[in-house]
A and B are shown apart, each in its own frame.
Chain A
Amino acid sequence: MTVWFVPRDAAALSVGANAVAAALEAQGEQVVRTGSRGLLWLEPLVERADSRNGTRVGWGNVQASDFASGDLTETAPNYLGVVEELDYLACQERWIYERVGITDPVDPEDYLSHGGMVGLQRALNLSPADVVTAVTASGLRGRGGAGFPTGIKWQTVAEQAAVPHKGDPIDAPRHKYICVNADEGDSGTFADRMLMEGDPFCLLEGMAIAAHAVGADRGMIYLRSEYPAAIAMMHEAIDKARDRGWLGQGIMGSTCNFDVTVRVGAGSYVCGEETAMLESLEGRRGTVRAKPPLPAIEGLFGTPTVINNVLTIASVPSILARGAEAYAALGQERSRGTQVFQLAGNIARGGIVEVAFGISAHELIFNLGQGTKSGRPLKAVQVGGPLGAYLTAESLQVPMAYEALAAEGAMLGHGGLVVFDDSVDMAEQARFAMEFCVEESCGKCTPCRIGAVRGVEVIDDLLASDTSTNAEQLLRDLCDVMTQGSLCAMGGLTPQPVLSALDQFPEDFKRSVSQSSDAVQGAVRE
């Protein structure tokens, strides 16, 4: 019998994948719901397995209204051929995303038959210290944006003794925690979401490996409320993992006890900052904590806590399964292994690209992404979320790696690239960066809380006046105060998009806001 594969990833659902699956099922076809391959411009991307060798061929942009399963033939205009041979996929090196788009995300058997649990099994056969050593040797760094070496963080937590929750009696149960930061609030990033919706067991396996390595007994996933599909998928996966003995008492027959719960955010961007996330997990306002103490020493409920991004933790199973040396052989300088890049915004072929560090932004955007979706010239690319710098079309040769981007005054962040065409008004984008900071500042420190409000005002002054030197100097001084004086990256990095826009697109700041907006809208309407 023919087997069809239709994604149930939220992005695919957002363009009609459920209706396509229903139409296939109504015709009596067998349909497996998978994650998305990450070729998002082709969604809904429907695949059919060859009954002889299992090779999967695909059709792009399938709409329920215009097909019977008999219409999906090899001569159809939307026929793609063998999906894995498409250039967008063939050039990728998938470690974290090795199963995403291929397997049924919540079928444990499918997970096992595609290499799942090999990493955890291998880790459980090693001593905790050897697991930490392997993670350190892989060169893995935090994928949430800060890029802190994961092995060192784990080592720190492993060296701490488990303690009771702060405020509990001294003889209360002792804990250490693994907290996964799935508060993926950066615009232009969706790799955490697609991993959780496409291969949730991989995240749980990585958490279990971390638990074994550092001696943690509890895990929490802090998942943003804006991702309802991912929340449902994680809950389903956790239930199934418990049934299989992958979580709970004595995981996989070992002496390791570890269980995971999901906690849902409540619409606060800054809760993606690790200490604000801890506050939120403890039920309080999501304000940033001063460090020290480091969360690795005194984290969630006062216990030693590993806080890692989804992609960091999800890298670990394949590192253990395929070997730290193989992972460390990829990349450049101190950017080792693979990064999941996300091509977003005004781009013809947006989606997920997992490749080794070092690929240039130009190659990602023009060779893989094939330029802007609108077909107009590219004007700017924001790398690393709303706190990331804007790059110009001329500076896209920069290798995508921690060190190379830092040298350009930019940052990798969570690996998202948001492309803008020439209709964008960079002064408006700079103003938005400040507005966003006004909206989302936790309010704990003054440079961020007040600075962002003044930032919006100063940009308005700058745009309204003809002789803008004073306002510009004021804006630069303000950005300096925010950069140097803020408690966390929210206030500290908001100047990055502002100043990069001001420095690289000064002409956009020489018109008033209303004029520029009208001009842009006029240009777009033409």
Chain B
Amino acid sequence: MESPIKTPEQIDALKGLLTPIVEREPGPVLLCLQAAQTHYGYVPDGAVAVIAEVCNVSRADVHGTFSYYSDLKKAPPPEISVRLCAAEACQAVGGRRLAAAWDEACAADPELAAATGTNEPVFCLGNCALGPAALVNDELIGNANVEALKSAIKAAQNAAETAL
């Protein structure tokens, strides 16, 4: 896939996005990576070099930060992000079974699998008394089951369509 940071205009646009952060905030590398991800949905090829330049650090420094954090992505995200809690409090109320059931549901429904990508486990969503917990985009789901996840995904898809 072609990176959206290629032409001089595209590079300047990213610099325009990042420069105010660098001027305002000390230690801005992670903030710049997060800003790029918010803007593009992921951190595209070429972003690391631009961030290194505006922050006046080496590309290796930026790459080091980029590669450390699991939130920062190299590739565009799925249409809807689905994250099931894999930590102990949710394990205690069937989190492992839900994860297996969700994998089965995705295997049985290619459209669902395409829209949500791979389930990326997350360690704790802070909803530990109402588990299993899941996050569909930014919406927290309590007492989660496959049906609840599917309807949250439908709602997120409808919301995205309305926004268009």
Contact = CB atoms under 8 A, between A and B. Distances in A.
Interface of A: 10-11, 13-15, 40-41, 43, 165, 184-190, 193, 225-229, 261, 263-269, 280-287, 301, 342-347, 350-351, 373-374, 382, 386, 416, 418-421, 424, 429, 432, 436, 439-440, 521, 524
Contact of B89 (A193, A261, A266, A418): A418
Given A226-B124, A268-B69, A418 B88 contact: yes
Interface of B: 25-31, 33-34, 55, 61, 64-65, 68-72, 85, 87-94, 97, 122-131, 133, 135, 138-143
A185 B122 CA distance: 10
A319 to B, nearest CB: 25
18 contacts: A40-B129, A41-B129, A43-B142, A187-B85, A187-B88, A188-B87, A188-B128, A189-B124, A261-B25, A266-B72, A267-B70, A283-B65, A345-B88, A374-B93, A418-B88, A418-B89, A418-B92, A439-B123
Contacts of B72: 266
Contacts of B64: 284-285
Given A188-B88, A267-B69, A345-B89, A280 B30 contact: yes
B92 A419 contact: yes
Given A40-B130, A345-B88, A436-B123, 9 more contacts: A14-B130, A189-B126, A190-B126, A266-B70, A282-B26, A283-B28, A285-B64, A344-B89, A345-B131
A436 B87 CA distance: 9
Nearest to A40: B129
A13 B140 contact: yes
Nearest to A287: B68
A246 B71 CA distance: 33
B127 A420 contact: no
Contact of B129 (A13, A263, A350): A350
B88 A386 contact: yes
Contacts of A424: 91-92
Smallest CB-CB A-B distances: 6 pairs: A350-B129, A187-B87, A14-B142, A266-B69, A344-B128, A283-B29
B141 A14 contact: yes
Nearest to B121: A439
Nearest to A382: B88
A435 to B, nearest CB: 9
A344 B88 CA distance: 10
Contacts of B140: 10-11, 13-14, 229
Interface of B is mostly: loop
Given A190-B127, A345-B128, A420 B26 contact: no
Contacts of B94: 524
B109 to A, nearest CB: 23
A255 to B, nearest CB: 24
Nearest to A520: B96
Contacts of A227: 125-126
A23 B83 CA distance: 29
Contact of A429 (B31, B88, B138): B88
Contact of A165 (B26, B34, B128, B133): B26
Nearest to B125: A226
A187 B130 contact: no
A418 B68 contact: no
Contact of A190 (B33, B92, B129): B129
B134 to A, nearest CB: 9
Given A15-B143, A268-B70, A346 B126 contact: no
Q: Interface centre among A226, A281, A285, A347, by most B CB within 10 Å? A: A226
Contacts of B142: 11, 14-15, 43
B129 A343 contact: yes
A287 B139 CA distance: 30
A11 B30 contact: no
Q: Interface centre among B71, B85, B126, B142, by most A CB within 10 Å? A: B126
Contacts of A193: 126
A190 B128 contact: yes
Contacts of A373: 93
Contacts of B135: 226
Given A345-B93, A524-B97, A263 B31 contact: yes
Q: Interface centre among B31, B87, B90, by most A CB within 10 Å? A: B87
A379 B90 CA distance: 16
B32 to A, nearest CB: 8
Contacts of A190: 126-129
A10 B29 contact: no
A266 B70 CA distance: 7
A346 B129 contact: no
Q: Interface centre among A228, A264, A283, by most B CB within 10 Å? A: A283
A186 B87 CA distance: 9
A415 to B, nearest CB: 12
A172 B149 CA distance: 52
Contacts of A229: 140
A286 B68 contact: yes
A13 B89 CA distance: 19
B128 A418 contact: yes
B127 A286 contact: no
A21 B101 CA distance: 32
A187 B85 CA distance: 9
